[in-house]
């Protein structure tokens, strides 16, 4: 198993996964009998397969993480990743990259990972872990500061 730092504006501190959006700008299907179907998706997915919004408590800021060329993703309770927690190097923040762990070995992604060198980009919150397998480093955009409610 290999780990690498993934520096983000919210690496240090406590983060929360606000929401995820998966999709395409347009979806098409042609069946074996020649029927065609087209569904208009959301324009925000013009360039990105997956978008996650992350709240960073220390800066009281909301960020969007844009993932392109996604091979797979999963969002699960952190208890489902016991193998990682036992091997995680000290000093990594709430964002890091990993490859060669159980999900990589047991899934059909193994072929792709071994040949493309794709990493899982991890965002670890207090309650959830978002793991995204993609060839490119995700783009992160600051949405803005979130003021506490009165």
Within a domain: residue 132?
Answer: yes
97-125, pLDDT tens digit by residue?
988 777 776 766 544 555 456 788 999 98
Q: What is the mean pLDDT of residues 53-72?
A: 93
Comparing CA positions, the residue from 48, 71, 53, 73 lying closest to residue 125 is 53
Q: Where are the alpha helices (DSSP H) in 22-65?
A: none
**pLDDT tens per residue across span 84-93:** 777 778 888 8
Q: How many domains does the chain have?
A: 1
pLDDT at 115: 47
Residue 76 has pLDDT above 50, yes or no: yes
Two structure tokens written together for 71: 């091979």
Q: State the DSSP H helix or E strand holding residue 103, giving kind and residue range, or none if neither.
A: helix 102-106
Residue-number span of the structural domain to which 10 is assigned: 2-145
For residue 66, the model assigns a pLDDT of: 94
Does residue 150 belong to any structural domain of this protein? no
Q: What is the radius of gyration, based on Cα positions, of the chain?
A: 17
Given this model, what pLDDT does residue 20 score? 94
Interacting residues of 93 by C-beta distance below 8 A, sequence separation 6+ = 5, 11, 12
Q: Are 69 and 49 in contact (CB under 8 A)?
A: yes
The total of other beta-carbon atoms located within 10 Å of residue 143's CB is 13
Which helix (H) or strand (E) element contains residue 17? Answer: strand 15-22
Task: Name the 3-class secondary structure at 71.
Answer: strand
* Percent of residues, the chain, with pLDDT higher than 70: 89
Element (H, E) at 52: strand 50-56
Distance CA 28, CA 39 (A): 6
- Asked if the structure places residue 51 within a domain, the reply is yes
- Asked if 123 and 65 touch (Cβ cutoff 8 Å), the reply is yes
């Amino acid at each position: 198993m290999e780990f690498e730092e993934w520096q983000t504006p919210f690496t240090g501190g406590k983060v929360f996964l606000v929401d995820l959006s998966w999709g395409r700008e347009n979806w098409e299907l042609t069946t074996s009998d020649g029927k065609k179907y087209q569904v208009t998706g959301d324009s925000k997915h013009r360039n990105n397969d997956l978008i996650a919004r992350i709240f960073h408590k220390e800066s009281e800021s909301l960020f969007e993480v844009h993932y392109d060329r996604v091979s797979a993703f999963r969002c699960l309770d952190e208890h489902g990743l016991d193998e990682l927690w036992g091997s995680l190097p000290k000093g990594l923040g709430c964002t890091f990259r990993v490859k060669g762990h159980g999900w990589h070995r047991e899934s059909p992604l193994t072929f792709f990972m071994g040949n493309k060198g794709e990493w899982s980009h991890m965002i670890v919150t207090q309650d959830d872990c978002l793991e995204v397998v993609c060839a490119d480093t995700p783009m992160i955009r600051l949405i803005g500061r979130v003021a506490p409610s009165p």
